[in-house]
Amino acid sequence: MNSPEISHTEEDEISLIDLLIVLLKYRRLILGITLAALVVAVGGYFWYPAYQYHNAQDSRLYEAHLRVGPAPVMSSLEVSYNLQEQFKNTPMLLNALLEAGYQEFGYDHELQISLTSAEQRARALFVVRQRLIKNESLDGDSLNADKQLFFVESVNGEDRTVELLYKADTPERAQAFLEALYQQVNAGLVQTLRPLAESVVSSYERLLALENPGEVLADKIVEDSFRYDQAKELLAGEAPALEPLDDTYVVAPEVRLENFQSSFIVKGVVLVLAALFLSIFLAFVLNAFAQVRSDQESMEKIHAALGREARGKKPGSHDVRDKNKPPQGRA
């Protein structure tokens, strides 16, 4: 009654012993590969995190932020506009880069276009549009978030108030670019509003010139006085079209060696464990291959599958020729 259980137990013991024998047989291979991975992990811990840290120090970018909204003159003149589009003007972006001290601009070390050369202005405008507005490579592929330099986002879902973000290698350059871009867009809007402001001033002064305005016109004069004052200040260069909602501030990225070291420890442990399992798998593969080679019947099947029996003569072909061959030595 107990014989089946005993046989199963013996088979399990034999299987475990066979596995142990394979591991012992290839113990040098397993230990060698695992120790090699351990040496690589330990050596990498003292080199690679420091390498990553220095690269991050050299390539880190400072983020400058500036929130911009409409000045009172924009509301008084009742102008409709999309402030996001105003800040995505390619020539203004190029001029802001120049005012921020850029002589060249492009894609890191891959491509740098001169911003001061008149002959390369068309190419510079194309690169600025791809790099800052579309956030795309020269081939039209979308850039990763860490490669994007310029953002214009609405504040509270309103296109009339935006937050600008620009990344640069120095905090001074990042701040200078946003402030220069703000001045560029503000000056452009002032020029756009000048005809409307001149019309408002002219119409209001004609009302003021009336000797005996009626009650309706008198109320109109009082109602439009603020609008008139704003238009006059705009034409005199005393009222901006836009105004910053707060001071420009710069965010400095925090780079610490300990973070890279902690991350590498996890990777090193994974590497050693992967090498251990790979070496065990390789040991069983080599053992299975050795068993196949020692089995004559299996090798014959392999040779047959490879077609090696076709190298000799076909079976029976010699006998057929011998039977059809006339006997020699007879008349």
Say if residue 315's pLDDT is above 60. Answer: no
> How much of the chain, in percent, has pLDDT values that exceed 70?
87
Mean pLDDT, residues 157-161 taken together: 74
Across the range 152-171, mean pLDDT stands at 86
d(CA 152, CA 162) in angstroms, rounded, equals: 6
Which pLDDT value is given to residue 319?
Answer: 46
When pLDDT is averaged across residues 177-193 and rounded to a whole number, the result is 94
Q: Determine the average pLDDT of the residues in 126-139.
A: 92
- What is residue 309's predicted lDDT score, i.e. its pLDDT? 52
Domain residue ranges in the chain: 19-60+255-305, 62-251
Separation of alpha carbons 291 and 309, rounded Å: 22
State yes or no: pLDDT of 3 exceeds 70. no
81-117 pLDDT per residue, tens: 788 888 999 999 999 999 999 999 998 767 889 999 9
Q: What is the pLDDT of residues 239-287, one digit of tens each?
A: 899 999 999 999 988 888 898 899 999 999 999 999 999 999 999 999 8
pLDDT above 60: residue 1: no
Confidence of residue 331 (pLDDT cuts 50, 70, 90): very low
According to the model, what pLDDT value does residue 289 have?
Answer: 87
How far apart, in whole angstroms, are the C-alpha atoms of residue 225 and residue 218? 11
Per-residue pLDDT at 313 exceeds 70: no
Name the average pLDDT for the chain: 85
Name the token pair of 8: 């199963």
- Contact of 162 with 68, CB cutoff 8 Å: yes
CA 34 to CA 27: how far, in whole Å?
Answer: 10
**Angle at the Cα of 165 (from 161 to 169), degrees rounded to 5?**
160
Where residue 75 falls among pLDDT bands split at 50, 70, 90?
Answer: confident
Which residue, 66, 60, 63, is CA-closest to 174?
Answer: 63
Q: What pLDDT shows up at residue 308?
A: 59
Cβ-proximal residues to 135 (8 Å cutoff; 6+ apart), any chain: 142, 143, 148, 150
Q: What is the pLDDT of residues 21-45, one digit of tens each?
A: 888 999 999 999 999 999 999 999 9
Q: Name beta bridge partners: 250.
A: 64
- Percent of the chain exceeding pLDDT 90 equals 50
Res 298 pLDDT > 90: no
- Please report which confidence band the pLDDT of residue 176 belongs to, taking 50, 70 and 90 as the band edges: very high
b/e burial code for range 184-217 (CB count within 10 A of at least 16 → b): bbbbbbbeebeeebeebbeebeeeeeeeeeeeee
Choose which CATH entry (3.30.70, 3.40.50, 3.30.1890, 2.60.120) describes domain 62-251.
3.30.1890
| pLDDT(173) > 70 | yes
pLDDT at site 323: 46
